[in-house]
Amino acid sequence: MSTPSYNAALIDLAALRHNFRAIRQLVGPDLGIMAMVKADAYGHGLVPAARAFAQAGATCFGVAELEEGVRLRQAGIEGEIVVLLGVPAAGAAEVVEYRLTPVVFDRAVLPALGMAAAARQRRVAVQLKVDTGMGRLGIMPREIAALLAAIGEWPGLRLSGILSHFPTADGEDQAVALAPWPRFVELCEACVPSAAAGPGGKLLRHMANSAALLRFPVAHADLVRPGITLYGYYPAPAHGRFAAIDLQPAMSLRSRVVQVKEVPAGYGISYGHRFVTERPTRLAVLPVGYDDGYPRGLTGKAAVLIHGRRAPIRGTICMNACLAEVSEIPGVAAGDEVVLLGRQGEEMIDAEEIAGWLGTICYEILCLSGSRNGRVYLDSEAESGQQ
């Protein structure tokens, strides 16, 4: 079926390239950058986003799972692809075939990787994940020596990097936020041989996510891992904690009015009649609901843009529909464009504002909006001949 949905997530590839270049300008020409494209590139589309970043100069990509890395290689993406959640033993052959770099935090996968590398007469780069306070994936410091020894038992494996993660890099207390960094440096110096494994004997050290790369230059190490900044947003609403950087949100979510109707005063709206009109009210019915990544929790809080003006959502958000009051917006008709996320005229509703309404973070809003709707790719640079 070729008929498009009413709803679409519009992705500006030029904005993605712009954001990568802005990060490159901030960190300098020599520091490594791992473009995080996990979670379907935060809802922006794994392959199109990776291609955009590659056009802007990216040569290293971070994915969560093996399947994402395979898709990137099959799409022709070159450079290093790091699989951050590690790989199961059953995926070892694909790691070798597609030249992927798995993160390791469990010696149980090493025999499969080592044998797969030997079978193809290749050396597989692996990176070691250590836990410096996140309490998530990664081995504890006391386990590092044993895992390094286990890696060394397999000639086909090559330790190329060591990484960790900041749990509170966007937090208010700067000392607490930076505390894991010296622990990571100490582990690198004490437990990892300098001749370990990268090209020329260099072991890549990396820990800085978007918040840390904007806030703590000392923690840039050999490589930074921008995520949310690549897609046009700061890691937290408290922008003043971070270095100023010119970011452009790349995603907008658009729909169309499917019906305009007038209801009398005292009229209950949507499920549960959680909103009852106090006056004759004009409503625009929108074909967007929680199945489309517009959460029910936005009920009573959200607004959309119609004719360049804000229209409050009235009543409970349904599975595939919601209602916006347009009593104060003249001329609204079926077929008119609705912007749920993005700019229309002089007005803007960004993912950070929606996240505030919902009590979450902008990351979740982008993932929901992009993954639950068809994506349309735009390229303002190409259209203007600037690419």
The residues spanned by each domain of the chain are 31-231, 251-382
Q: Could you report the per-residue pLDDT of 129-138, keeping only the tens digit for each?
A: 999 989 899 9
Distance CA 68, CA 38 (A): 7
Q: Say which of 38, 42, 233, 294 is annotated catalytic.
A: 38
**Closest residue by Cα to residue 84 from 150, 124, 37, 47:** 37
Is a pLDDT exceeding 50 seen at residue 83?
yes
- Band (pLDDT 50/70/90 cuts) for residue 383 is low
Distance CA 113, CA 36 (A): 24
Is a pLDDT exceeding 90 seen at residue 351?
yes
Question: Quick one: pLDDT at residue 202?
Answer: 74
211-233 as b/e: b if 16+ CB within 10 A: bbbbbbeebbbbbbbbbbbbbbb
Distance CA 246, CA 79 (A): 26
- Band (pLDDT 50/70/90 cuts) for residue 197 is very low
Distance CA 176, CA 114 (A): 39
Q: Could you report the per-residue pLDDT of 120-157, keeping only the tens digit for each?
A: 999 999 999 999 989 899 999 999 999 999 999 999 99
Helix (H, G, I), strand (E, B), or coil: what is residue 128?
strand
Q: Say which of 6, 42, 202, 271 is annotated catalytic.
A: 271
Question: Quick one: pLDDT at residue 372?
Answer: 92
CATH number of 251-382: 2.40.37.10
Is a pLDDT exceeding 70 seen at residue 312?
yes
Query: 313 forms bridges with which residues in the sheet?
Result: 324
Question: Quick one: pLDDT at residue 386?
Answer: 54
Question: Quick one: pLDDT at residue 193?
Answer: 58
Percent over 90 (pLDDT), the chain: 88
Is a pLDDT exceeding 60 seen at residue 196?
no
- Band (pLDDT 50/70/90 cuts) for residue 237 is confident
Which pair of tokens denotes residue 365?
Answer: 């809003």
Question: Could you confirm whether 233 is annotated as catalytic?
Answer: no
Question: Could you confirm whether 202 is annotated as catalytic?
Answer: no
Among 179-193, 222-236, 264-278, 286-300, the least confident range: 179-193
Mean residue pLDDT across the chain = 94
Annotation: CATH topology of 31-231? TIM Barrel (3.20.20)
Question: Quick one: pLDDT at residue 385?
Answer: 54
Averaged pLDDT for residues 58-69: 98
**Closest residue by Cα to residue 282 from 261, 304, 265, 303:** 261
Is a pLDDT exceeding 80 seen at residue 191?
no
Percent over 70 (pLDDT), the chain: 95
Distance CA 76, CA 99 (A): 12
